[in-house]
């Protein structure tokens, strides 16, 4: 197994959908290419922002394959493969390995709450054993507010101890920086990615491997300046863009602002149970974003034409 080299600014990339609820792979891969060319060191495909758990197993496989078929650099991409069913998680992780993704991001199985760590250990063990022939690096996805199940630091250490270099890191979407710092000390080289770009200057010290952020879909150039040169002015601007969504629906909001930035209304669609960002919120966020960007060169559009249902 080649060790995953993912680090730096990673966008939790949105997944475009059409008005019938099918993944729009052309739009999605066009955005991926744009982000990699404009500040992102890597991408997290089919995470929370990518609405992974709202797609079927076959739809998720189709999106994964589209990234490979588009010729995107899969060595810079991790992909979400967690599922409530361990069999589905195995199938998705195997598919990610066969395609050549740099890592699999694994949520805990999220339906049953309050399960013991032994059950979570068994879930990961099955995935590790089932993918031994093509041992893709595994990143744990810690998002207890959504999944209802934490990857306790003690359990993380147990998994690393049992499976070694197969368990290479963790995405922390808890917002608990004490947890993130503790997790980063589990083992030498264990990579922790908080879910906010606000940590990027601290990450430059080696505290974290970077960030995996939903709003890096919108501010990747600013994040890149913060990560690569410690530019605190750029970081402040990036965080200001993130704060535009405080108190609002993040995923529909990010997609609405992608639509605004790239002048492509097709990006506003989301999968149930999410709903389209309200028009009033979209207007307010777009106006505020344009104001923040007023003294900067506006990003080139990704070139996808709007899909009208």
- Residues taking part in catalysis: 141, 171
Chain mean position to CA 47: 5
With left for phi above 0 and alpha for psi between -120 and 50, is residue 108 left, alpha or beta? beta
Asked if residue 159 has a cis previous peptide bond (ω within 30° of 0), the answer is no
Backbone angles phi, psi at 39, to 5 degrees: 125, -25
Backbone angles phi, psi at 298, to 5 degrees: -70, 140
Rounded distance, CA 72 to CA 278, Å? 33
Backbone angles phi, psi at 61, to 5 degrees: -60, -40
Sequence-distant (≥ 6) Cβ neighbours of residue 23 within 8 angstroms: 15, 16, 17, 55, 59, 62, 63, 66
Alpha helices in 13-116 (DSSP H): 25-37, 57-69, 86-99
């Amino acid at each position: 197994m080649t060790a995953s080299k993912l680090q730096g600014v990673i966008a939790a990339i949105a997944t475009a959908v059409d008005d019938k609820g099918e993944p729009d792979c052309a739009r999605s891969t066009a955005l991926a290419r744009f982000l990699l060319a404009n500040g992102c060191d890597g991408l997290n495909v089919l995470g929370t922002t990518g609405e992974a758990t709202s797609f079927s197993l076959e739809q998720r496989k189709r999106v994964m394959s589209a990234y490979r078929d588009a010729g995107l650099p899969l060595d810079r991409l991790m992909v979400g493969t967690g599922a409530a069913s361990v069999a589905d998680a195995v199938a998705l992780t195997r598919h990610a390995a066969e395609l050549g993704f740099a890592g699999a991001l694994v949520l805990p199985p999220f339906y049953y709450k309050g399960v013991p760590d032994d059950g979570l250990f068994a879930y990961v063990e099955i995935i590790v054993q089932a993918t031994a022939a093509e041992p893709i690096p595994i990143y744990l996805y810690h998002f207890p507010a959504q999944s209802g199940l934490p990857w306790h630091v003690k359990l993380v250490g147990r998994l690393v101890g049992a499976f070694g270099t197969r368990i290479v890191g963790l995405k922390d979407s808890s917002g608990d920086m004490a947890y993130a710092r503790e997790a980063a000390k589990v083992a030498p080289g264990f990579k922790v990615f908080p879910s906010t770009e606000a940590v990027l200057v601290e990450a430059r010290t080696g505290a974290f491997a970077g960030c995996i952020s939903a709003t890096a879909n919108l501010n990747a150039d600013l994040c890149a300046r913060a990560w690569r040169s410690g530019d605190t002015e750029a970081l402040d601007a990036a965080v200001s863009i993130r704060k535009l969504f405080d108190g609002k629906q993040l995923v529909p909001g990010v997609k609405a602002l992608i639509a605004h930035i790239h002048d492509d209304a097709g990006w506003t669609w989301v999968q149930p149970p999410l709903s389209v960002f309200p028009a009033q919120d979209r207007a307010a966020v777009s106006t505020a974003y344009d104001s923040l960007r007023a003294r900067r060169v506006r990003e080139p559009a990704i070139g996808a034409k709007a899909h009208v249902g």
